[in-house]
Amino acid sequence: MKSLKPVKSLKPFEPPAWVMLLAGVDEVGRGPLAGDVVTAAVILPANHPIEGLADSKALSARQRENLYTDIVSHASCWCIGRASVEEIDRFNVLQATLMAMRRAVMGLKIQPDYVAVDGNRLPQWEYAGEAVVKGDGRVEVISAASILAKVVRDKEMLEMDAKYPGYGFNSNKGYGTAQHLEALQRLGPTPIHRRSFAPVRDELQLEQSPLF
């Protein structure tokens, strides 16, 4: 339940005194043009602190990999949830992300008393909890979730790079970099591209436009 360095102007996170099992939840992959949204839920043990937890974006790939090993080895329990590209396109990325968060928490072998979710929105669920703005850098258990989700999604995008070469998924992880946008125009969308996102949607419309 430990908090990291407080963020100026934000109230320190303190779960209610009655909470014994706190789960942290975070997501990775809302912004990319390709790939699933991946979420993680984690409950950390009070008797085995994990040193070095921080927002996954502030860590190197090697640091994340090392912390991933520590988290999965010592967490009381953890679970990965996801929303598919099809769900993102059908429901919009925010709703798909909230669905994926719910799946991650429901998949925990030990159900939490309270859930701290990174951001400013909570899924619709029966759990007591709160949204914590910038929680991935403020609350250790959310940091742990952010690291798990990041490592899992990055590994999946490396696999997608081998399956769909030319888009730079190994480096851009599906985000709309100049390299990715150029490849999208040159090669067209893959099955893992999000059809509802403007650059992909625009490219599909160009492909379907009749030639005169």
Structure tokens at 177: 């970099």
pLDDT of residue 212: 46
Domains of the chain: 22-161 (3.30.420.10), 165-206 (no CATH)
Using CB atoms within 10 Å of the CB of residue 24, give its burial: 0 to 12 exposed, 13 to 18 middle, 19+ buried. Answer: buried
For the segment 35-63, the average pLDDT, to the nearest whole number, is: 95
Does pLDDT of 4 surpass 80? no
Mean confidence (pLDDT) of the chain = 94
Tens of pLDDT, residues 125-176: 999 999 999 999 999 999 999 999 999 999 999 999 999 999 999 999 999 9
Tens of pLDDT, residues 88-105: 999 999 999 999 999 999
HEC string of 83-121 equals ECHHHHHHHCHHHHHHHHHHHHHHCCCCCCCEEEEECCC
